């Protein structure tokens, strides 16, 4: 209950305080390229329940395909505004809506698409999906340049599933074991510091 109250209070405060910024981002996305303001994609949430995540759209609008669901390197689909939003992580601010709605938390394991959740080992799957997914976590800080790393791989999806994902899952499991409001506060501060340094 304490974590949910923490999420409700700070997501509500964030939506109010950042309202003008969120409107400016939405306007920039809309003026930069045709399509919706938000990118919505199915992710796997707490207890394996699917939900549709909010992000400010950073790519050219196109129907969701069945190909790669990871971004690799300097993807040509990324818009001009999208490059800035991704580098600054401002595209993730839209997930404050998901936190307010209760499908996400401010801090928790990042939610994956069903395609990659299918690769979770059974024991880790149950543990990681026992909590709400978050906007940020330890893996988000450590893998800020994930798309650049994957761009160097001969097979980016194979590298993601067999190299990056196992490490992310280990970090997520460690978070679940140690979860507390104070740990969440520390991770939020670390995330802000990482963004500012960049």
Which pLDDT score, from 0 to 100, does residue 153 have?
A: 82
pLDDT in tens, 141-191: 888 777 777 878 888 888 899 999 999 999 999 999 999 999 999 999 999
pLDDT in tens, 24-78: 999 999 999 999 999 999 999 999 999 999 999 999 887 655 455 666 656 778 8
Domain boundaries, the chain: 2-197
pLDDT in tens, 68-123: 566 665 677 889 999 999 888 999 999 999 999 999 999 999 999 999 999 999 98
Which pLDDT score, from 0 to 100, does residue 72 have?
A: 61
Res. 1 pLDDT band, cuts 50 70 90: low
In 3D space, the residue among 177, 109, 100 whose CA is nearest the CA of residue 138 turns out to be: 109
Average pLDDT (128-141) is 95
Which pLDDT score, from 0 to 100, does residue 135 have?
A: 97
Which pLDDT score, from 0 to 100, does residue 150 have?
A: 81
Which pLDDT score, from 0 to 100, does residue 25 have?
A: 97
């Amino acid at each position: 209950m304490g974590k949910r109250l923490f999420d409700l209070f700070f997501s509500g405060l964030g939506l109010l305080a950042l309202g003008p910024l969120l409107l400016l981002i939405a306007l920039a996305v809309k003026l930069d390229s045709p399509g919706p303001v938000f990118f919505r994609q199915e992710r796997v949430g707490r207890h394996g329940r699917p939900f549709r995540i909010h992000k400010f759209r950073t790519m050219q609008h196109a129907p969701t395909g069945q190909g790669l669901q990871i971004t690799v390197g300097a993807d040509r689909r990324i818009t001009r505004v999208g490059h800035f939003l991704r580098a600054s992580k401002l595209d993730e601010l839209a997930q404050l809506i998901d936190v307010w709605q209760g499908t996400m938390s401010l801090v928790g394991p990042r939610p994956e698409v069903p395609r990659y959740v299918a690769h979770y080992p059974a024991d880790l799957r149950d543990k990681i999906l026992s909590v709400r997914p978050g906007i940020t976590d330890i893996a988000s800080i450590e893998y800020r340049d994930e798309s650049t790393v994957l761009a160097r791989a001969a097979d980016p999806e194979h590298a993601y599933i067999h190299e990056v994902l196992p490490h992310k899952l280990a970090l997520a499991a460690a978070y679940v074991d140690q979860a507390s409001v104070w740990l969440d506060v520390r991770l939020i501060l670390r995330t802000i510091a990482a963004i500012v340094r960049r």
